[in-house]
A and B are shown apart, each in its own frame.
Chain A
Amino acid sequence: DVVMTQSPLSLPVTLGQPASISCRSSQSLVYSDGNTYLNWFQQRPGQSPRRLIYKVSNRDSGVPDRFSGSGSGTDFTLKISRVEAEDVGVYYCMQGSQWPPTFGRGTKVEIK
């Protein structure tokens, strides 16, 4: 199975400051169709997960533009340009290129 390694696992951030989460896969996530099926989810405390980003950099409808995804191959990043209080929660990367789909362990974003 593809192992997804996120870092850091805990990320204290000052309100209004940027935040960056890394996600590395144990195998390339480039599929034979040329697409890279790397997705990001947010799980706020006590809530169900919510998809933020799909195929590396495509933001879901309703997701603020302070969230952005980038990367290629095995190395990916989720960035929050200016952290707001509502961004507190756990962020997961998930690969859907190789069977079975796998998630990272999650990165907990909290306010300093």
Chain B
Amino acid sequence: EVQLVESGGGLIQPGESLRLACAVSGFSVTTNYMTWVRQAPGKGLEWVSVIYKNGYSQYVDSVKGRFTISRDNSKNTVNLEMNNLRAEDTAVYFCARDIVGPNYYYTSLGMDVWGQGTAVTVSS
């Protein structure tokens, strides 16, 4: 069964760090593009980061330099290391499988499998 399970969320103070994990079953993270999407309370969806099959990664400008996406091939997990957290990073973070077009540059057909999300609250 294809399943994504996120963990690691919680309440954290501004400036601190947090590491989210996404445990994947039913397919391999090494042969798929994996994405993190977040949703602030009562708001819409915001794409955050992607890790390519070859390990290359990209980020939305608002998290660049603070967030790092990675994967553990042996555990079939995708991680999101979040540093120097800000109040505006407060959101539910979803891990998802991204279906990418057959082009040199990233094009997306959207995310076809999603986890249940993990909530991150940044507040003093």
Q: Which residues of A contact B (CB under 8 A)?
A: 31-33, 35, 37, 39, 41, 43, 48-51, 54-55, 60, 90, 92, 94, 96-97, 99-106
Contact = CB atoms under 8 A, between A and B. Distances in A.
Contact of A97 (B45, B46, B107, B115): B107
Contacts of A51: 110-112
Interface stretch (B7-15, B17-25, B69-77, B98-106): B98-106
B87 interface: no
B109 A54 contact: yes
Contacts, number: 73
Interface in B41-95: 44-47, 58, 60-61, 94
**What class of interface size applies to chain B in its complex with A?**
20 to 34
Given A48-B94, A94-B108, 17 more contacts: A31-B101, A33-B107, A39-B108, A39-B110, A49-B45, A49-B114, A51-B110, A51-B112, A54-B99, A54-B109, A94-B47, A96-B109, A100-B61, A103-B46, A105-B44, A106-B44, A106-B45
Interface of B: 37, 44-47, 58, 60-61, 94, 99, 101-103, 105-112, 114-117
A103 B107 contact: no
Contacts of A54: 99, 109-110, 112
A81 to B, nearest CB: 22
B80 to A, nearest CB: 16
A92 B101 contact: no
Contacts of A43: 45
Q: Helix, strand, loop or mixed for chain A's interface?
A: loop
Given A39-B108, A96-B108, A96-B109, A103 B44 contact: yes
A102 B60 CA distance: 10
Nearest to A102: B47
